A = this chain, B = another copy of it.
């Protein structure tokens, strides 16, 4: 299994690090984004590698040069999204000692992470990363393990708050962690381009809703 960090494409650019790295990453992101947009609009099974190549202005052969199959594309895309998520959401939150502040950091950063992509129909990338129907069973298990570690991270913050008597009475930390995740992920499906609220205003709303929802 290739490490997620090296799951780069096109291959040539991936091998030529240094000055080209940023260009490479931008291109890679664009390919994943167009593929995600097609997967959400037409469904994974109805989208061909040819459709993706056409959408990003590459030849089909060029796309197959660096990606073995459509399933491989989906896998790399999901790993890329989870890497982004860990770097932008999880890593900064890990350093926050107070569990309430840690939870708030995660919620706000996750909302901003989702709002960074703002297509007419929401954020197709987040939708695809969270809908793994096209993956092989082995890769589904690998992706689910990474998602579980996020769930555990949120639940642990909630359990700490509960031990300190700071949660509302009767709150179940596991259910609350799923609920917080559900609120945030749903943004990818309903937020439209040029929404009324800025990403930071939306982060305020969502953090307020979730924190009031769990805190005493």
A→B interface (CB under 8 Å): 40-46, 133-134, 168, 170-172, 174-176, 178-179, 181-187, 190, 196-197, 202, 204-206, 208-210, 212-214
A183-B182, A186-B182, A212-B213 in contact; A175/B134 too (CB < 8 A)? no
Residue of B nearest to A174 (CB): B196
Q: Is the CB of A40 within 8 A of B210?
A: no
A43-B45, A182-B183 in contact; A170/B206 too (CB < 8 A)? no
Complex CA distance for A199 and B205, rounded to whole angstroms: 28
Residue of B nearest to A170 (CB): B208
Enumerate chain B residues within 8 angstroms of A204, measured Cβ to Cβ.
Answer: 170
Q: Is the CB of B205 within 8 A of A209?
A: no
A45-B45, A172-B205, A209-B213 in contact; A178/B190 too (CB < 8 A)? yes
User: Is chain A's binding surface mostly helix, strand, loop or mixed?
Assistant: helix
Q: Is the CB of B170 within 8 A of A179?
A: no
8 new A-B contacts, CB < 8 A, other than A175-B197, A186-B186, are A42-B133, A168-B208, A170-B204, A171-B208, A172-B205, A175-B206, A179-B183, A212-B214
* Candidates B174, B197, B210; contact of A213 at CB < 8 Å: B210
The 4 A-B residue pairs with the shortest CB-CB distance, nearest first, are: A182-B186, A45-B45, A213-B213, A209-B213
Enumerate chain B residues within 8 angstroms of A210, measured Cβ to Cβ.
Answer: 213
Enumerate chain B residues within 8 angstroms of A186, measured Cβ to Cβ.
Answer: 178-179, 181-183, 185-186
Complex CA distance for A41 and B134, rounded to whole angstroms: 9
Give me 28 A-to-B residue pairs in the complex whose CB atoms sit less than 8 angstroms apart, sorted by A's number. A40-B133, A42-B133, A43-B45, A44-B45, A45-B46, A168-B208, A168-B212, A170-B204, A170-B205, A170-B208, A171-B205, A172-B197, A172-B205, A175-B202, A175-B205, A175-B206, A178-B186, A178-B190, A179-B183, A179-B209, A182-B182, A182-B183, A182-B184, A182-B186, A182-B187, A208-B213, A209-B214, A212-B212
